[in-house]
């Protein structure tokens, strides 16, 4: 099975349609599948729902799709740093389903494992719990959260081989593996594709069985918030 494609547009060919649910990796500005997001923007696919830890910033990540009004709904745990997101949400143009960060990660992982739902204490007694089933276990109240089953997963990794085995670097590993798992089809972009057999099996973070299509490309190395201190005079 051929998994390596020449570019993002080719890798997404035949996969996109209006109104679809896309699970996207990334944590802050780290590990964002920026090439695939740009290809989705160029394709003009609209009315999209994104399950993603965050929405990037105004000109990067999912933020570029908010600018073009291609996103209908966000399923997220953090939406700061994005003025256009705030404007669209407050004006009623964008739907938002807030999830606690761990709950969102587990919803993706559960979907990838074929688990339709699970109970968690997180969110009990808050707006997160409104409209959800409550159940007591050993005297403690839990709420039912549903697994996420996405039409498409898009993720960004550091290294891959041509079978789709992936290695992530540091914070990029936070949401990319569960996001990759929960899609019917997963497309990954990586910084480097190495020959089969070169990756240490014990170092692989996501097995190639989850990855259907793969591209290699150049990526930005953005810093979400840079904090510095004044230089002390000698």
pLDDT-derived band of residue 201, with 50, 70 and 90 as boundaries? Answer: very high
User: Which residue bears the tokens 């992530």?
Assistant: 168
Identify the three-state secondary structure at position 153.
strand
Take residue 100 and report the two structure tokens written for it.
């606690």
Question: Where do the structural domains in the chain lie, given as residue ranges?
Answer: 8-216
pLDDT value at 223 more than 80? no
Grade residue 79 by pLDDT with cuts at 50, 70 and 90: confident
As a whole number of angstroms, the distance between CA 232 and CA 127 comes to: 47
CATH of 8-216, one of 1.10.287.1080, 3.40.50.150, 3.40.190.10, 3.40.1080.10: 3.40.1080.10
- 219-225 mean pLDDT: 74
Overall average pLDDT of the 91-105 stretch: 94
Beta bridge partners of 152: 22, 185
Q: What is the DSSP letter of 47?
A: S
Using DSSP's 3-state secondary structure scheme, residue 197 falls into coil
Using an 8 Å Cβ cutoff, are 39 and 16 in contact? no
At 218 the pLDDT is 86
Q: Would you state the pLDDT for residue 234?
A: 61
pLDDT in tens, 123-148: 999 999 999 999 999 999 999 999 99
Q: What is the pLDDT of residue 85?
A: 87
Distance of CA 68 to the CA centre of its chain: 19
How many CB atoms within 10 Å of residue 23? 31
| Mean of all residue pLDDT scores within the chain | 94
Q: Which two tokens stand for residue 27?
A: 């944590």
pLDDT score, position 120: 98
Residue 78 CB coordination number (10 Å)? 16
Task: Check residues 176 and 233 and name the one with the higher pLDDT.
Answer: 176
- How far, in Å, CA of 62 to CA of 41, rounded? 9
| One-character DSSP codes across 113-176 | TT--EEEESTTTTSGGGTTS-EEEETTEEEEEEEPP-EEEEEEEEEEEETT--EE--GGGGTTH
pTM confidence score = 0.92
Cα–Cα distance, 1 to 213 (Å, whole number): 10
Residue-level pLDDT at 29: 85
Q: How does pLDDT run across 37-67, given as a tens digit for each residue? A: 999 999 999 999 999 998 888 889 999 999 9
- pLDDT attached to residue 81: 75
- Whether residue 225 is predicted with pLDDT greater than 90 in this model: the reply is no
Percent of the chain with pLDDT over 90: 82
Q: pLDDT for 2-46, tens place per residue?
A: 999 999 999 999 999 999 999 999 998 889 999 999 999 999 999
Place of tokens 């204490």: 121
Is residue 103 very low, low, confident or very high in pLDDT (cuts 50, 70, 90)? very high
């Amino acid at each position: 099975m051929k998994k390596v494609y020449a570019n993002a547009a080719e890798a997404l060919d035949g996969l996109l349609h209006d109104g679809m649910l896309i699970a996207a990796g990334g944590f802050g500005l780290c590990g964002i599948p920026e090439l695939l997001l740009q290809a989705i923007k160029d394709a003009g696919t609209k009315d999209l729902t994104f399950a993603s830890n965050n929405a990037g910033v105004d000109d990067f990540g999912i933020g570029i799709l908010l600018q073009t009004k291609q996103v209908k709904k966000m399923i997220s745990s953090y939406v700061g740093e994005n003025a256009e997101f705030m404007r669209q949400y407050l004006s009623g143009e964008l739907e938002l389903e807030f999830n606690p960060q761990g709950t969102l990660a587990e919803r993706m992982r559960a979907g990838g494992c074929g688990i339709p739902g699970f109970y968690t204490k997180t969110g009990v007694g808050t707006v997160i719990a409104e409209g959800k089933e409550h159940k007591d276990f050993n005297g403690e109240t839990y709420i039912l959260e549903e697994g996420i089953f996405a039409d498409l997963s898009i993720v960004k990794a550091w290294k891959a081989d041509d079978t789709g085995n992936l290695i992530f670097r540091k914070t990029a590993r936070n949401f990319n593996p569960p996001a990759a798992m929960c899609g019917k089809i997963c497309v990954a972009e990586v910084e480097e594709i190495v020959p089969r057999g070169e990756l240490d099996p014990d170092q692989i973070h996501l097995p190639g069985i989850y990855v259907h299509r793969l591209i290699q490309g150049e990526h930005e190395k953005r810093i979400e918030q840079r904090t510095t201190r004044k230089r002390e005079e000698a």
